[in-house]
Amino acid sequence: MPLFRFVLLSVVMFLYACTSYSSDPDIAMLERAAARAPKGPTPPAYMTPAEMYPGNPQAQALVKAAIKGDVKEIDRLIDAGANPNDVGAYGKTVPGWVLFHPNVAGFRRLLERGADPNIIWHDGTRAQSSLLHFTIYMSDKIGTDYLKMCLSVGKGNPNLEPPDGRERPIAVAVNNINTDAFYILYNAGADIDYKIRSSYRARSLAEVCASQNNHRILFILLSSGVHYSTEKRGVWDLHSSLQGEMGAHYARDKNDPLYIWFWRCVDFLEKRGMKFDYGIAIRPAVLDTTPPDILGPEADK
């Protein structure tokens, strides 16, 4: 390969890596960063118990028993002094590492024996999270049973807010577009009308929904009475997000699953004073007026 092409390809790959790097310093970002840097820190999912909990043989034995679902061994270890809330690499407590090697029986037993899903994790950067947050982040891979256990068995707080105020558990569900997790948290008492703080501004959960194209949840939020505004304050970005989506496929194709939810959101806000320029979008002549199913799929379980 000519030198010029080699250099150009290298630059393109570097820029791609930079742009794919998440702006949120969470566990996923750390994993991606480590994967791109062979000499960097080992991502927690690939750590051994000894690497995750160095110098703590009790915690190492506890996670080994938990991922096997060995409830008797978990009891024996805790009775002998092992602590299910011991902190390891990336600020993770014992059940956090278990989620990389999920076992329902082992995870439940840790919660039954005192593992606290409300303990705030500090991963060495400015990111703050918790076991409760992490069960939601991982739910696309491991399902929502672990989230349910954190709430019911571990008495997790659905409104748990780390000191940095960046996101409560329900914001993780919205950011990940995990509708099932949203319903579970909503029905557990999660507040849906609050501000998500950052270093430069505060955003509503409705704004986050709009920016993530999560129109079904956005409509539920609006129908449930969350704050909105037609001024250049508050949730003005909600208007900007929807206006910017008028050229999207789901604003024109009636067969797109997002189509009806997008237009129900637009219709809701139009009736309350917001103005939109449809452009090439195709507004349906008739809109479904059935109230959204607040209980969601959990109502049947």
Task: Give per-residue pLDDT as tens, 261-285.
Answer: 999 999 999 998 889 999 999 999 8
- DSSP code for 43: P
pLDDT band at 122 (very low <50, low <70, confident <90, very high): confident
**What pLDDT, on a 0 to 100 scale, did the predictor assign at position 31?**
44
CA–CA dist 236, 229 (Å, integer):
6
CA–CA dist 276, 222 (Å, integer):
17
User: How many helices, marked H, and strands, marked E, lie in the chain?
Assistant: 16, 4
More confident residue, 169 or 7: 169
- Domain residue ranges in the chain: 25-191, 195-301
Q: Is the separation of the CB atoms in 207 and 175 below 8 Å? A: no
CA–CA dist 236, 227 (Å, integer):
11
How many percent of the chain have pLDDT more than 90? Answer: 49
Residue 233 has pLDDT above 80, yes or no: no
Q: Could you tell me where the DSSP H helices lie in 89-167?
A: 94-98, 104-112, 131-137, 139-142, 145-152
Q: Residue 25's closest CA among 16, 36, 33?
A: 33
Burial call 112-124: b when 16+ CB within 10 Å, e when fewer? bbebbbebebebe
Q: What is the end-to-end Cα distance of the chain in Å, rounded?
A: 59
More confident residue, 42 or 129: 129
β-strand pairing of 195-197 with 120-122: unpaired
Mean pLDDT over all residues of the chain? 81
**What pLDDT, on a 0 to 100 scale, did the predictor assign at position 158?**
96
The label of the residue with tokens 């002998």 reads 80
pLDDT band at 67 (very low <50, low <70, confident <90, very high): very high
Residues with Cβ < 8 Å from 168, sequence gap 6 or more? 158, 159, 160, 161, 190, 191, 194, 196
Q: Is the separation of the CB atoms in 92 and 66 below 8 Å? A: no
Of 153-157, 165-169, 178-182, 190-194, the range with the highest mean pLDDT is: 153-157
CA–CA dist 244, 266 (Å, integer):
12
CA–CA dist 178, 218 (Å, integer):
13
**What pLDDT, on a 0 to 100 scale, did the predictor assign at position 95?**
96
Q: Is the separation of the CB atoms in 121 and 129 below 8 Å? A: yes
Determine the topology of domain 25-191 in CATH: 1.25.40
Question: Could you tell me the two tokens for 76?
Answer: 């024996």
The alpha carbons of the chain give a radius of gyration, in whole angstroms, of 22
Question: Could you tell me the two tokens for 258?
Answer: 């997002």
- Side chain identity, residue 258: L
